Amino acid sequence: MTYRVCFVCTGNICRSPMAESVFRARVEEAGLDGLVEIDSAGTDGWHEGEGADPRTVAVLEAHGYAGDHTARQFRPAWFARLDLVIALDAGHLRALRRLAPTAEDAGKVRLLRSYDPAAGDDLDVPDPYYGGTDGFEECLEMVEAASRGLLTAVHEQVKGQAA
């Protein structure tokens, strides 16, 4: 059985495609790529059909990650097929929980940085869109740090499904 994870930010051109790319690499490194499906979307459809922001692509590629991506908007019907929906900030968390058709679906939504024990109380990944490359680098650092804990949690779920 495939475990499905979707990362969600605002427009699906900066943070969520970055998280998708980093987490896909972590899943492959762990040998779970046949067991875990990774995707991303935005809470809004402003950039639907567009590629990731060029700064996102540049930072990902500079760090050895794939930058290929096409933006799309998250749909409430997706909750039925997803096991985990990862929000990049508290605003996305609230929006996704409001979209959730059931309380069980709302329970599938988690903040990415909640998987980083060093994150402290600030669990938002700041939107780098209106800044320079340094904001995208900072975003990548946060995503990489949280991805380790997320991989541990997903690996436990995958093992539990196989049992």
25: its two tokens: 């690499």
Q: What pTM did the predictor assign?
A: 0.97
Q: Are 5 and 108 in contact (CB under 8 A)?
A: no
Q: Are 139 and 125 in contact (CB under 8 A)?
A: yes
Residue 159: which pLDDT band, with cuts at 50, 70 and 90? confident
Residue 163: which pLDDT band, with cuts at 50, 70 and 90? low
For the segment 23-51, the average pLDDT, to the nearest whole number, is: 96
Residue 149 has pLDDT above 90, yes or no: yes
Active site residue 14: no
Q: Are 29 and 146 in contact (CB under 8 A)?
A: no
Mention every residue, 6+ apart, whose C-beta is less than 8 A from residue 80: 101, 105
Write out pLDDT tens, residues 83-117. 999 999 999 999 999 999 999 999 999 999 999 99
Residue 78: which pLDDT band, with cuts at 50, 70 and 90? very high
- DSSP secondary structure letter of residue 114: G
Report the pLDDT value the prediction gives residue 22, as an integer from 0 to 100.
98
In the chain, the percentage of residues whose pLDDT exceeds 90 is: 95
Residue 54 has phi, psi (to 5 degrees) of -55, -30
Q: What is the CA radius of gyration of the chain?
A: 15
- The CATH number that domain 3-162 falls under is 3.40.50.2300
Paired strand residues for 8? 41, 87
Active site residue 127: yes
Report the pLDDT value the prediction gives residue 63, as an integer from 0 to 100.
98
Annotated catalytic residue, options 6, 14, 15, 83: 15
Active site residue 15: yes
Annotated catalytic residue, options 4, 72, 97, 127: 127
Say which residue, 160 or 131, is predicted with more confidence. 131
Annotated catalytic residue, options 9, 24, 26, 116: 9
